[in-house]
Amino acid sequence: MIWTGSEMIVWGGEGDETGSELFSDGAAYDPETERWRMLASSPIAARRYHVAAWTGTEMLVVGGVDERDGAKYSPASDSWEMVSVSPIPMGPPAGAPIEGVVGSVWTGEQLVVWHVASDQLAAYDPGVDEWTLLPPTGLPVDNGALRWNGEEVYAFGAHVASYPSDNELLVSRLRDGQWQQLPSAEFSTPEHNIAARAILTGWASDHFVAWSGDGRQGLTLAFAPDEGGWRQIARNPDPPCDGQGEPIQAYDAIISFGWCGPNAAIYEPSNGSWTAFEVTGYPTARYTIWTGTEVLNWGDTCCYGTGGEPFTVRAWRSSPPS
């Protein structure tokens, strides 16, 4: 799902975690009128775990489980157009774990995608409808995320399969066409062995923030890329959980989600503080956007591991503390 500046658009997905029921329809919600509208029929097949991005005028939908094709949707004309097929895998294979398998980020001009397992990367330019292969990150990880700080692409990765013996968050940045490895972050403490997770990262004004799935019982760290190593900051107040939901950006701030309940927190970079607040359901960034004044969510589910039970789908809006 994406935010256009005036509408929240959702497209595709699955009815339960088995992928036995997939969708190729979509809808757009206008928070001003509190109304939904259906999108025109798409030219691509139903799918799940695809990548979506807003270019400023169109929504890109590419990849998914065992998929490499894609299309772009124009809200102005309510129409779709096919885009070039990706030269790299764009999603997990059927039956594989899904979180952290693909990292993606919109730079303002290109969609950059990272297939973590094979360490293949490519950038899509919608202006010329072309994909460009990028060099591998070189990070020995099985879980990854891409972030944009306004100037450069950063890759965050962890090796979850080796937990609890390996709890490092590894970092590289793409500069002048090459990846440069930066200092890593260690999340273990004398009290807790905590697995590093690449998605629990965000850019806040002039530094990255990373935290553990243990929320307030784990570490929260900050890293300014050109200043050296990581430093400990105020802990994310979300409660301990097996997995925290991926955060979203709210201008210079970061909104994190507890995922195991109606818990969220907003990080203010100017003073390094967190403020906890309540939301509805079990949100993650896959189903949540920031409009500039409030959080909108559609499709929150709890939780992966339901054994194929149909997902509970709700829609809600919430105003975080200012």
Contacts of 104-107 with C-beta under 8 Å, sequence gap 24+, read 104/51, 104/53, 104/146, 105/146, 105/147, 105/148, 105/153, 106/53, 106/54, 106/55, 106/148, 107/148, 107/153
Residue 132: the pLDDT is 98
Residue 242 dihedral angles phi and psi, to the nearest 5°: -65, -25
Q: Which residue has the higher pLDDT, 24 or 322?
A: 24
Beta strands in 199-272 (DSSP E): 201-204, 207-211, 220-223, 231-232, 245-250, 253-257, 263-268
Between 67-76, 139-148, 163-172, 233-242, the lowest mean confidence (pLDDT) is in 163-172
Number of domains in the chain: 1
Residue identified by tokens 């105003």 is 319
User: What does the alpha-carbon distance between residue 236 and residue 116 come to, in Å, rounded to a whole number?
Assistant: 27
pLDDT digits (tens, 9 = 90+) for 19-44: 888 999 999 999 999 999 999 999 99
Tell me whether the omega of the peptide bond preceding residue 303 falls within 30 degrees of 0, making it cis.
yes
Q: Which domain holds residue 173?
A: 2-318
Q: What is the CATH number of the domain that holds 179?
A: 2.120.10.80
Query: What's the whole-number average pLDDT of the chain?
Result: 89
Single pTM value for the model? 0.94
User: To the nearest 10°, the Cα dihedral for 108, 144, 83, 298?
Assistant: -80
| Contact indicator for 54, 18 with CB cutoff of 8 Å | no
Element (H, E) at 224: none
Between 209 and 195, the more confident residue is 209
